[in-house]
Structure formats: C-alpha cells, structure tokens
Amino acid sequence: MWTDKSTTSQHISSRDRDGGYGGDSSTRYLEKRLRYFEESSRFILDTLELATSLGDCRESVNQLKSVFPILDDAEAKLADLIPFEAFTFYLVNEENNDFEHVRTRPVETTRYAKDETEFLIDSGVFAWAVREKRPVVVTSRSKDRRFVLHALSTRSRTRGMFVGAIADNRRISDIHLSLLSLVLLTTAGAVESFYLYGMLRGKDREIGGLKGYRLIFESAFEGMEILDAGGRIVDCNEAMCDMLESERDHLIGRLASHFFSGNKEDRSDNHDVFPAGEGSRDGEVELVSAKGTVLRVYRRERPLFGEDRSFEGSVVSYRHITAGNTDDADTRK
C-alpha cells in the first residue's frame, strides 16, 4: 500500500532554532532539516514514479473481447492507492445513454452499493459528479462510510462513473485523490478506445464501405491512422510506422498532431470534432518523424460517427508529396 509521506514530516521546534539544546543545537537543527528535505525529496520521487505507472493502461485494448480487463486494471491500481471497501462501476449504454451498473467488487456488497447509488441519484449528487472533472466525496446515508464518485470522462463524452466506498474514519489526502483522477481518466480513454475498436470491427462500411478493411488497411501504400475522438492514435499500418520512423507500440496513444511540424508550444492538444454530416478534411501538412525527418504529405481525414450520430473518431491517410505529384495535390485541394 503506497502511503503519503507528506504527513510524516518531522516537527522542528523553536527551541531547536534558539539554542535550547546547548552548544550542539545548531548541528542538530541542521541534521533535522536535512532529514526533512531528504524525506521530502524521496516522497516527490515516489509520487512521480507512481504517477507514471498509473497513467498507462496495462491492457492492449485492440485485443480485448470485453471491457472487464480494463476495469480489472483500474481496480488493481486503485486498491494500491486507497483502501476502498467496495468498487462499483457504471458505464453509459451506447443505445439509450443511460448509466448501467456493470459490477461491484466484492460481489456481496452489490446490493448495498446499488441502494446507496440510487440515493445519490435521487439526491442529485450523482448528476453533480458527472459534471465535475474531479473526485466528489460524500457521506453515506448511515454516516459510517464515505463514497468517492468520479466520472469516467474523455474530451468528447462521459463513458461511465466510478463509485468507491471507504470507511468514514479513513483520511484521503489530496495527492491520493489527484492520482485517483489520473487512473480513472486513463480508464475512460481505454474504455472509449475499446468501443471504437468494436465499432470498427462490427461496421466496416463506416470507413469507406469497403469489405476486408483490415487487409486493405495493412496492405495500403499510404500511411493510415485510426484516431479516437480526442485525436489520439489507436491504430496505424506499417506504412505509417515507416513514414514516422517508429514502431507501432510507440505511436499508439500519441496525439496525431504531435508529429506535425512547428514549434512544440504551438501544437494544440485539442482535436477538432466533426459535426454530424461533415465529410472528409483534406490538405497538405508537414510531418516530423521520430528521428527528425521532415515529410511533406497530403492528409485526408474521414470522420466516424456512432448510431446516435455523435463523433467517435476518424480514419486518416497520408500520401507523400513529391515534385511529380504536387500539381495533383493542388488539384485535389
């Protein structure tokens, strides 16, 4: 169990500073200060190391058959972070946009967790937590526990809700709550990518009406990417890996815009959302590969929409522009 060392720093009394211990007081005071700074530095490094490990989904999303391994991963990380007595997940039903109970662990606490959540829904707390981008901590009806609610939200939509039960006398530090947000934001992104993959597997016609999409995708001479609604790469073909001089595993999860030319501070993390009914977006861009090679390419992005016509992601193709095909690219524009 990872503990918050920020609460264990030693108190240095005014008597130490004022020489209350005799001739060696200055030495003892400096030793205490040094120990304090050592503990603070160790705590900061431990926190950064933990944040790095929490901010990555351990599962290969495109290989999953269900969403449960993603939730298993989230529960394992949260259990190391905060001593929850129960974990409950709700996910949004894609057909009617209702929150549906997916599971509670341990199973024997399911009835209690669902009853308490119903109370939070009736009291308006659940709706409040959906709008927030941070943990919401409230007391249970029986006053013996607290509940931590956190929406599973991405930039484009809300994917679900986490409800964790913890004993009322347990203290949760702000640092732990911030790390909890990191875990659940990563989980929300993984859930969204999972559903996007499901849509691609189930509806080849949504990406051009072509059968055998995977074969065409992998054998295409053009570089091709599949992006989620936030503009992050969830898949790419070998031609794209060659173009960016990087392996596929190193590209998955990166913002596609990260490889556009220009100063890093000028690149936006925001990916423009396609309104329903909009067609492809075409144009010339310059890419900078992982090794620094600059490529001038013609880029075409085609949107993917869900059954409710909400923007789910996009398919992007890249074609090299050379002296011989510049005029052709200009004509297409």
Q: Would you state the pLDDT for residue 20? A: 47
Q: Please choose, from the candidates 246, 233, 247, 224, the residue with its C-alpha nearest in 3D space to the C-alpha of residue 297.
A: 224
How far is Cα 237 from Cα 14, in angstroms, rounded to an integer?
65
Contact present, 183 and 74 (Cβ < 8 Å): yes
Inter-residue contact 299 to 320 (CB < 8 Å): no
Structural domain spans, the chain: 5-52, 59-200, 204-332
Q: Which residue has the higher pLDDT, 308 or 175?
A: 175
Give yes or no for a contact between 317 and 224, defined as CB atoms under 8 angstroms apart.
Answer: yes
Q: Are 222 and 317 in contact (CB under 8 A)?
A: yes
Considering only 26-35, 48-57, 133-142, 192-201, which range has the smallest mean pLDDT? 48-57
d(Cα 160, Cα 149) in Å, to the nearest integer?
A: 11
Question: Which residue carries 């509940």 as its tokens?
Answer: 147
Question: Residue 67, Cβ neighbours under 10 Å: how many?
Answer: 21
Q: Are 147 and 137 in contact (CB under 8 A)?
A: yes
Per-residue pLDDT of 81-102, as tens digits, reads: 889 999 999 999 877 889 999 9
Q: pLDDT tens, 227-277?
A: 998 889 999 999 999 999 999 989 998 999 899 987 444 444 556 677 777
The model carries a pTM of 0.53
Give the chain's mean pLDDT.
80
The sign of the torsion formed by the CA atoms of 132, 158, 62, 311 equals negative
How many Å separate Cα 239 from the centre of its chain? 27
Q: What is the mean pLDDT of residues 119-129?
A: 94
Domains 59-200 and 204-332 share a fold: yes
Burial of 94 (0-12, 13-18, 19+ CB in 10 A): middle
Cα–Cα distance, 266 to 43 (Å, whole number): 33
* CATH class given for the domain over 204-332: alpha beta
Are 145 and 120 in contact by the 8 Å Cβ rule? The answer is no
Longest dimension (CA), the chain: 87
Q: What is the CA radius of gyration of the chain?
A: 25
Taking phi over 0 as left and psi of -120 to 50 as alpha, with beta for the rest, 146 belongs to beta
Question: 59-200, which class in CATH?
Answer: alpha beta
Predicted pLDDT of residue 51: 57
Encode pLDDT of 182-225 as tens digits.
889 889 988 988 888 777 666 555 555 445 566 777 777 889 99
Between CA 243 and CA 221 the distance in angstroms is 11
